[in-house]
Structure 1
Amino acid sequence: MRRHVYLKGIGTTLFIGLFFGAYFYLLKDPAYPATVMPVTLLDRLIGFQPQALPIYISLWVYVSLPPALLATRRQLYGYGMAMALTCLAALAVFYFWPTAVPAANIDWSLYSDLEFLKSMDAAGNACPSLHVATAVFSAVWLHRLLRNFSAPQWMLFINWIWCTGIVYSTLATRQHVAVDVLAGLALGLLGAYLSLRYRKCPARYPESGAKPLADGFAGGTD
């Protein structure tokens, strides 16, 4: 985590900023009329829970963890490219097939934090849920990195609990419906699988005692 601190901090901030720029552009200027996503039985089973908002917002901390654990510039650039391609795939869907979450029968003025979120994020660009896709992508990478570092099982458990909480919060805050979440799960898993599967190269860190990455971006040199 001590390596390339400025590159990681500035790079992650710029990445998120560029993503939001593209996201809000498509949100406010869709190419086609938006399709309202259907409500399913799962949506009805999961009630509205405003207390899930902090978990929802914690995504922006969560997605910064995998790059923080990478050691070389080459790994960081490769990871950033894989995450960017995953996000671009969703943005392409948003452009050609804009979607929206159905209006919820909720008085948002009673929940000021959620009302602010709704005013910023609106209900568009719903499917696939990028909140879910990026959380799942990060979870798979974190799991691989933590295993590489021989992390204790409780860390692996917390990783997946955190990811599950973020996924759940998208439904509990009514930011997405189940169809959006399932599509986001598929996109995140596919992006993580491809980025780990087709970039195999051992990356060793003798000074830390960590095992080589079985899969992952090449270690390279600083």
Structure 2
Amino acid sequence: MTLRELLKRFALGAAVGLTATIMYHGTPYLGASRAIMRTSCWTWRIVPFNPLWFWPYISLFVLLGLPWFVLRTWSAVRAYAAALLAVAAVAWLTFVIYPTACVRPSELYLPSYLSTFYLVDWPNNCFPCLHSAFAVYGGYVMCCRASYWDTPVPKVVIYSWVVAILVSIVALRQHTGIDAVTGIGLGAIGIWLFRSLRSADNAA
């Protein structure tokens, strides 16, 4: 990969990341006052709260950043960007229509790193869960045939990583189980869109 292509990938990734961030942090202003607060769910009783799940949770941003540099072709990178923004747009739209939020654990019992995270992260969350959608979609792209990491060992590591992220979503009380499951469905739509865009590029 040449320096020029590396910079192109970095620039596109930065632009997509900025756009998705603006969309995410703009949602509370559009629906926070109408948000439905969830105070309990059956998945929270199955998966106990543990602040250490913060680290798999926050690692999603690494998982989403890697495909920009491990996809083999520029056309695959563009397809990744387009499907990523489409997934974010769907979650953004559903939040505007049906805003939700989750009650958080008392800050008296939280480590400083998690308390700091809560200061910058709104309690309002998307249904379906954007975090799980991104985890499933990003994990697939990392392991698909268009990636340099399309080999058995990286696949096991990456899919295990995705599972850890999915568990962390519930364990940190960021989302309910139904949020996470519907987010997986949204991630599957992102995968379908990515594959469709790749097929169209290959046919052209």
Does TM, scored on the shorter chain, surpass 0.5?
yes
Equivalence map 1:16-95=2 (5 Å): 16-30=17-31, 33-37=34-38, 39-95=40-96
Contact 1:50 1:114 (C-alpha < 8 Å) held by counterparts = yes
Structure number having the greater helix percentage: 2
- Aligned partner of 2:130 in structure 1 is 130
Deviates more, 1:164-173 or 1:71-80: 71-80
**Separation in 1 of the partners of 2:22 and 2:131?**
15
CA deviation vs aligned residue, 1:137-161 (integer Å, no higher than 9, x gap): 1111122137x65844221100100
Q: Whole-Å Cα distance in 2 between the matches of residues 141 and 33 of structure 1?
A: 35
Residues 122-201 of structure 1: pairs in structure 2 closer than 5 A: 122-145=122-145, 149=148, 151-197=150-196, 199-200=198-199
Which protein is bigger by CA-based radius of gyration?
A: 1
Percentage of matched positions with identical amino acids:
24
Distance in structure 1 (CA, Å) of the matches to 2:60 and 2:7: 21
- Aligned equivalents of 1:121 and 1:150: distance in 2? 32
Q: Distance in 2 between matches of 1:31 and 1:54?
A: 26
- Contact 1:38-1:179 within 8 A present in 2 as well: no
- CA deviation digits over 1:67-89, x for unaligned, max 9? 21223333322221111111101
Q: Which runs of 5+ in 2 are unaligned?
A: none
Q: Which runs of 4+ in 1 moved over 6 A?
A: none
Cα 1:171–1:150, aligned 2, differ >3 Å: closer, same or farther? closer
Cα pair distance change 1:128/1:8, threshold 3 Å:
same
Number of residues of Structure 1 aligned to a counterpart in Structure 2: 203
What residue in structure 2 maps to residue 214 of structure 1?
none
Paired with 1:11 and 1:108, the residues of 2 have a C-alpha distance of 41
Query: Mind listing any 5+ residue stretches in structure 1 that lack a counterpart?
Result: 202-216
Instruction: Tell me how large the CA RMSD over aligned residues is.
Output: 2.5
SS in 2 for 1:36: strand
CA drift of 1:31 comes to: 7.6
Q: State whether structure 2 residue 99 is matched by structure 1 residue 115.
A: no
Q: 2:61 is aligned with what amino acid?
A: W
